[in-house]
Amino acid sequence: MRRFFYNYLARPLAWAIPMGLIIALLGLPLFKFWVALWSAILLDVLVNFLFPAWKATPKGNENARR
């Protein structure tokens, strides 16, 4: 039982825990970057879809002149 525990649980965990920490520390900034990028894109699309009048055109808002 002790050998089973050591070979199949303790040794893999001894590798997996530091590797997971390293991967998490390296991946978290990238993950935050992609989340921020997609949030900005989706927010922009949503605002343009819900409030098209907010889109500033160089000529101004044609609808306001009617």
Q: Considering only residues 63 and 21, tell me which one the structure prediction assigns the higher pLDDT.
A: 21
> For the segment 2-14, what is each residue's pLDDT rounded down to a tens digit?
777 777 777 777 8
Longest dimension (CA), the chain: 85
Residue 1: C-alpha distances to residues 5, 13, 37 (Å): 6, 17, 50
Mean pLDDT across the chain, nearest whole number?
Answer: 78
Task: Spell out a b/e string for 18-41, using b for 16 or more CB atoms within 10 Å of the CB, else e.
Answer: eeeeeeeeeeeeeeeeeeeeeeee
Report how far residue 57's alpha carbon sits from residue 42's, in angstroms, rounded to the nearest whole number: 21
